[in-house]
Homo-oligomer: A and B are copies of this chain.
């Protein structure tokens, strides 16, 4: 029965270490997941979970079979080659060619322990390539842990909300930041987590051109590669490809994670695809620090990745190689598979809007509506994200407040992946009751 018993929920929050349900907004996502589980146990009511950005589909069986085979062949006892197994380098390169339309040679494909490790390694190098540049620029809203990495490393963060600077307006805003001379690199995800806005080829051209002009390294997070489902993409080696800044500058690295594309989040597998010109570039400050020629790729692999984990789990490298290969050969249609998230998001958003909620980041570039995909943003009246969270918790709906993502707009981030077929009706009922209680 909703709303849930207030005393019971508040008590559960207290038992978890929060003072009351009103502190939920300030809780980290990991804390939120924990407290919601406790509330489910205490009340006996299952939540509609939209807080965790976890795949809602089973892991690709081709990957699982490849891992088992590799372990049976004895790779478990052998240290993984730090540069990556040859099959992964080859099929990673092919995958980028087939689905992004870029030529990145095998030697510039390197596995990482998820894109989390890739971003940590790249942010570490950004802090070290030029003494005069002390800042990483983020396009907000963003995945907050990448900013946390900068705090760990000790490099400054700058940012702006991209919704205010779409299209040609992006150029002036970027120049404003780049002209300070402090920006070592910039990081964005496309499609955007959490808003699902997608940077266009025109915008990526602006980013690429200015990155070259101002010597700023671009880190492009392609976690949701080809998941702008408004376009019909995903046929290997055929346009339209994933839009990429790689067509407009040499000064870039792409992060490609298996987590969402192949529902492989548990195994922590990703690759970076490094522009071959950047790979060979030598940085005097790296040369001095590490006593070598300062080459970017060499230091990325042999100094940074080696220090971080001695490479990537051997069997997972075989899984990624097999999945990339299958995708290139048309045996895994990962775009078609992940379209399930489009359907789920579409239905959830429709229910929300019908019950008095609105989509916060609703417009994409050129005033097109934002597409449906893995994440979406939603608001209620003029409430803050924290206010929403603190009330929705009594209605059995969980999501995270947008505040942590650097969004200038108020609201929440929802993930469409976890909802089950039997939960839409329940979501509708709960939000209707919520709106009945607060909608006057």
Q: Give chain A's interface residues, CB within 8 Å of chain B.
A: 28, 30, 52, 54-55, 57-59, 63-64, 67-68, 71-72, 74-80, 82, 113-114, 116-117, 120, 124, 145, 148-149, 151-152, 154, 259, 263-268, 289-290, 302-304, 306-316
Contacts and interface: CB of A to CB of B under 8 A. Distances in A.
16 contacts: A30-B306, A55-B77, A67-B71, A68-B71, A75-B266, A76-B266, A78-B265, A113-B309, A116-B310, A117-B308, A145-B306, A145-B307, A152-B307, A267-B314, A309-B309, A315-B315
B116 A309 contact: yes
A374 to B, nearest CB: 14
A80 B308 contact: no
Contact of A71 (B64, B268, B306): B64
Given A77-B57, A265-B79, A116 B67 contact: no
A266 B113 contact: no
Contacts of A264: 76-77
A59 B71 CA distance: 8
A15 B149 CA distance: 40
A152 B304 contact: yes
Contact of A74 (B59, B71, B311, B316): B59
A256 to B, nearest CB: 16
Among A64, A120, A289, A312, chain B packs the most CB atoms within 10 A around the CB of: A64
Given A307-B148, A310-B116, A76 B289 contact: no
A266 B116 contact: no
A116 B265 contact: no
A266 B315 contact: yes
Given A58-B74, A309-B113, A151 B290 contact: yes
Contacts of A113: 113, 268, 308-309, 313
Nearest first, the 3 A-B pairs at minimum CB distance are A59-B76, A266-B314, A113-B309
A55 B314 CA distance: 14
Nearest to A64: B71
A55 B265 CA distance: 28
Given A80-B268, A266-B313, A268-B309, 12 more contacts: A30-B302, A55-B78, A64-B72, A64-B76, A67-B68, A80-B266, A114-B310, A116-B309, A116-B310, A149-B307, A151-B290, A268-B313
Among A30, A259, A264, chain B packs the most CB atoms within 10 A around the CB of: A30
Nearest to A302: B30
Nearest to A149: B307
A53 to B, nearest CB: 9
Contact of A316 (B149, B152, B307, B313): B313
Contact of A151 (B259, B267, B289): B289
Contacts of A312: 268
